[in-house]
A and B are shown apart, each in its own frame.
Chain A
Amino acid sequence: MIKKVLLMGNPNVGKSVIFSRLTGVKLIASNYPGTTVEFCQGCIGSGAEKIEVVDAPGTYSLEPTSPAEEVAVAMLDRAIAAKDSIVVNVIDATNLERNLNLTLQLLKKDIPVLIALNLWDEAKHIGITIDAESLERKLGIPVVPTVAITGEGINVLVSRLDQARCGEYDFVDDERWHEVGRIVDQVQTIKHKHHTIGERLGDLTIHPWTGIPIALLVVAVLFFIIRLIGEGLISLVTDPFFNNIWAPLMMKLSAVLVPGSFIHKIIIGQLIDGSIDFGQSFGILTTGLYVPFGAVLPYIFAFYLALSVLEDTGYLPRLAVLLDNALHIIGLHGMAIIPMLLACGCNVPGVMATRILETKRERFIAATLMSISIPCMAQTAMIFGLLGKHGLRGLLPVFVTLFAVWLITGNIFRVAVKGESPEIFTEIPPYRLPHLPTMMKKVWMRIYWFTHDAVPFVLLGVFFVNLLYAFGVIPLIGKLVGPLTARVFGLPFEAIGALLIGFFRKDLAVGMLAPLGLNIKQLVIACVMLTMSFPCIATFAVLLKELGVLDMIKAAIVMLASAFFVGGLLNLIL
């Protein structure tokens, strides 16, 4: 009786899509190797016939070279020991030879295997024909052609799970590649095709002289689109909703709760000139809801839409190759651009994605650097809201400073952090047209995570801010450190309150700056220091998990020291 199915295969063959098809559990799937960095579980069926399905990170061989691959191999070992598991080996039909290398290694293990021959449609499309039945006879295990993205073949796969068998295919391990070659020659025929126009255009994006200008253009266009969609949604959808529908409702509630009462302070906050100001009132149901849903969500949506296009077309690994030299400046290789980009959405998945980097040194550098100098999209949206009205004069100093911090701190890390940084070595997947329903599902999942994981912290943060003021904690801190912050950073003591709240949510902390009446220079300094000083609690937790206590302490010291240094420096030079 099978209890557990382990999905294994090379990176970027569609394991996560098959997993979602089998279990209904939605996972992030993209077109680059290393999308999945940890395992995910789900189930097929129910009751006594329930089978657990586990999605493992991709691996090229059973000799792991990165932590993500180590996870995969450790899971295989556990599955073998459990005796009630089978492996579904997902194979990319367009790359049979390379994929069978892993298959033959799996067949040497003491565990039943079944093959899902995925990307079957793409293989046909490029002129590759594989005789699945003949492959099945040769290997002695079931082979099921699948097109995971449309669901083709998934039912057959499920119905044949109990036919998975241990490999009887006998070969000498040192001769594995010859063996693979022999099998491929017998089951695969390739109709030779010339380079298509699409492929030629694709090659242009990776040649240095054409690729770098194209990359700059792509990034600029995406930035413009994110800003356009984000601002558009705010001015056309969320602001009208909050101002015309939500505000009158809250005013009625305000009358019931009696302005000035403690409960009114917590729920509605302060009335500004007798009415609600969603930026300044600071009640749970006013600013607490406006920050995540009114100001941030439109940008989250816009950002993840743009990111999904980059992920699903397969452009990211190409960007990684083009930026490889640039990333050497900060002691990393090109693939580090992927966690850095994810961090622009939220630092949590950014830190997780550092697992695609091979060594501990690279992961420390990448994770620390992104927590210091990359504001998440929630925070960026609030910075846009606060400084956007001053145009580039307000926005440029913040982002130019953060970029300089990224570059300089990274360069210091490159020299100071001991250990190895290997070179880039990655598969570059073919360009694919994003499958729209899958892409929208992914955007939706990320929005769901944002509302689910972030909003409670925003509300909690608003609650705490009110408590801290009500009990006079912030004024007390103000008395103690106020003169110092005024002299060193040119900031009023309330800005220190924002730095503290930054531990809950950075977007809310930026929001706290709104009522303070700061000038451009003060806003720039406060926004930069908020980004750099200390990660929010969610990022803190994931950093602790990924780096360990010791490295986390080191990272925290770097964060605080660099935040104070840069804050002071900006106060002197701006």
Chain B
Amino acid sequence: MSAIPLTNMESGKKGKVIEIQGGRGLIARLSAMGVRPGIKITKISGQIMRGPVIVRVGNTQIAIGFGMASRVIVEV
């Protein structure tokens, strides 16, 4: 078990969100789409050159910008 940012996670791997390192606004935006501590998340792909990260949460695929994704801490 180790805690890493979403951006460092390997594509195709599953993990559990444990923390969102950001202000109220960021936490609210992410959680409105279902990304919040305790939730299981699958990384589908990451774009090259610090591009967006694609994840699956529940039945939804979400694209998250690199900066935002680096604040989502995942336990893998």
Give the B-binding residues of A (Cβ under 8 A). Answer: 60-61, 63, 65, 94-95, 97-98, 101, 126, 128, 177, 203, 206-208, 317, 320-322, 324-325, 333-334, 422-430
Given A95-B58, A422-B65: A322 and B34 within 8 A (CB)? no
| Cβ 8 A contact of A334, one of B31, B45, B63 | B63
Across-interface contacts of A60 in B (CB, < 8 A): 32-33
> B2 an interface residue at 8 Å Cβ cutoff?
no
Bound-complex Cα distance A126 to B58 (A): 13
Residue of B nearest to A426 (CB): B63
B47 touches A317 (CB 8 A): no
Across-interface contacts of A422 in B (CB, < 8 A): 65
Bound-complex Cα distance A333 to B62 (A): 15
| Cβ 8 A contact of B59, one of A95, A101, A320 | A95
A97 touches B58 (CB 8 A): yes
28 examples of A-B residue contacts, CB within 8 angstroms: A60-B33, A61-B32, A63-B32, A95-B59, A98-B32, A98-B57, A98-B60, A101-B32, A177-B31, A208-B46, A208-B47, A208-B48, A208-B51, A321-B47, A321-B63, A324-B47, A324-B51, A324-B63, A324-B65, A325-B48, A333-B65, A425-B64, A426-B62, A427-B60, A428-B54, A428-B61, A428-B62, A430-B61
B54 touches A321 (CB 8 A): yes
Bound-complex Cα distance A101 to B45 (A): 27
* Contact mask for chain B residues 33-76; partner A; CB cutoff 8 A; 1 contact, 0 none: 11010000000111111111010011111111111100000000
Bound-complex Cα distance A433 to B22 (A): 38
A203 touches B44 (CB 8 A): yes
Interface residues on B, range: 20 to 34
Residue of B nearest to A423 (CB): B65
Residue of A nearest to B33 (CB): A60
Residue of A nearest to B68 (CB): A423
Return B69 CB to nearest CB of chain A, in Å.
Answer: 9
> B3 an interface residue at 8 Å Cβ cutoff?
no
A97 touches B67 (CB 8 A): no
| Cβ 8 A contact of B63, one of A101, A177, A317, A430 | A317
B59 touches A94 (CB 8 A): yes
| Cβ 8 A contact of B61, one of A63, A97, A427 | A427
List the 9 shortest-distance A-B pairs measured between CB atoms, nearest first. A423-B65, A60-B32, A428-B61, A61-B32, A98-B34, A321-B63, A208-B48, A207-B45, A424-B65
Across-interface contacts of A428 in B (CB, < 8 A): 54, 60-63
Across-interface contacts of B65 in A (CB, < 8 A): 324, 333, 422-425
B52 touches A324 (CB 8 A): yes
Across-interface contacts of B47 in A (CB, < 8 A): 208, 321-322, 324-325
Return A317 CB to nearest CB of chain B, in Å.
Answer: 7
B49 touches A65 (CB 8 A): no
Return B46 CB to nearest CB of chain A, in Å.
Answer: 8
A423 touches B66 (CB 8 A): yes
Given A60-B33, A65-B29: A128 and B59 within 8 A (CB)? yes
